[in-house]
Amino acid sequence: MQVVHKCCCGLDIHKKVIVACMRMIQSDGTLLQQVRTFGATTKALIELSDWLVSMDCTHVAMESTGVYWKPVYNVLEGSFELLLVNAQHIKAVPGRKTDVKDSEWIAELLQYGLLKGSFVPEASQRELRDLTRLRTSLIREHARAVNRLQKVLEDANIKLSSVASDVMGTSARLMLNAIVGGETDPAVLSDMAKRRLREKIPQLQEALTGRIKPHHRFMIQELLVHIDDLDGSVERLNKELEERFRPFEVELGLLDTIPGINVHKAQEIIAEIGVDMTRFGHHTRLASWAAICPGNNESAGKRKTGKTRDGNKWLKHSLIGAAHGASHSKNTYLNAQYHRLRGRRGTNKAIVAVAHSLLVIVYHVLAKLEPYKELGANYFDQREEQAIQRRLVRRLERLGYEVSIKKVA
């Protein structure tokens, strides 16, 4: 094999220890290999950087092991050509399972140009990723806390969620605060209903008749405090993200024209893929990187499972959520696509297909900086007009009808 990099280094990264293997082709053509072990603190990482500089190293490869690669990447970024490699792509050869052997194997693969680096965005985009991912985690925790609250109410024989659509709405919150305060009379509690919920006061009285014990009140109070804290954290994150996304107001506005994508979803998508689509080159490459397209598994001329791969789970979560919203939009291409596929492929596959279409749309909107152009709910009918005619005529003929078609002026 041909040597691609004359001086490179492979890193085997752990929580506390980093094993570095340096491979250098000297002027006489001989191979010089050095292996050193460093700590994972910032001081030790600076020593690692100084050692790489002193050896005139140009390329460094490391595995994407959890979050432990991030401190190393932050220190070495800008000084070397860094390759963050999927661990599955460099599985250890049998007999090579020690830290030293792993680092040597990574360095050897790198020197012969056999490693492909993962997409690592610039530092500013990584900061946006951290913030949007934290917001997503807090929103998920908020949903879990609300579910815990509903379980406590069920344990106390309170069926509030069977009458009120939102147990954290204004009316329901007033009732819960009163329950925490010691109120147990269903008539008093149901009279706290506001607006349209007052039409269901008889049902509320029946639903609020329960067996509330002191420990139930304590748990409800703690969960309400926890939910309020989460609401405050999400609100502060929204304000911080609003400030940080000001340079991308144009892109956010364009993405907001796509059905199913609101400002928050647009922020999450930009944080994951950025706004420069030239780094992907084509929408098929973006979809493949995001693992939101059918898998490629073929052998002996036979197409096997088309299950999607494991990709960027945060981006996939945002796209799937947007696809659910787009599938319920009215008179849109995406809604038509969803209903067209759901009948014969099932709900889940139809949602993934819509998510794939959304990512393709996002690519073209960001690449061209043009708003989304709606194709309409009848797009598929117009595209396949002749095929639809033939299919419907055959169905009627099989039923015993003689069919003649005349187009209306």
Q: Is the pLDDT of residue 76 over 90?
A: yes
The highest-level CATH class for domain 7-111 is alpha beta
Which pLDDT band holds residue 136 (cuts at 50, 70, 90)? very high
C-beta of residue 10 within 8 angstroms of C-beta of residue 24: no
The domain spans of the chain are: 7-111, 124-244, 248-368, 383-409
pLDDT of residue 129: 94
Q: How far is CA 205 from CA 157, 162, 177, 208, 372, in A?
A: 12, 12, 16, 5, 49
Backbone angles phi, psi at 60, to 5 degrees: -135, 135
Half-sphere exposure of 30 (CA within 13 A, CB side): 3
Whole-angstrom Cα distance, residue 235 to residue 226? 14
Proportion of the chain above pLDDT 90, given as a percent: 55
Q: How far is CA 384 from CA 249, 260, 309, 336, 387, in A?
A: 38, 26, 31, 14, 5
Q: Is the pLDDT of residue 246 over 90?
A: yes
Please tell me the pTM assigned to this model: 0.84
CATH number for the domain whose boundaries are 124-244: 1.10.287
The lowest-confidence range among 123-137, 168-182, 266-280, 394-408 is: 394-408
Of 179, 182, 180, 181, which Cα lies nearest the Cα of 190?
Answer: 179
The pLDDT tens digits for 322-345 are: 999 999 999 999 999 999 899 888
Asked if the domains at 7-111 and 124-244 fall in one CATH topology, the answer is no
C-beta of residue 21 within 8 angstroms of C-beta of residue 45: no
Placement of tokens 């930009």 in the chain? 270
Strand-pair partners of 19: 12, 37
Average pLDDT of the segment spanning 210-235: 94
C-beta of residue 165 within 8 angstroms of C-beta of residue 193: no
The pLDDT tens digits for 89-100 are: 777 556 657 778
Region label for 181, one of left (φ > 0), alpha (ψ between -120 and 50) or beta (otherwise): alpha
The pLDDT tens digits for 270-328 are: 999 999 999 898 999 999 889 888 777 666 677 776 677 788 899 999 999 999 999 99
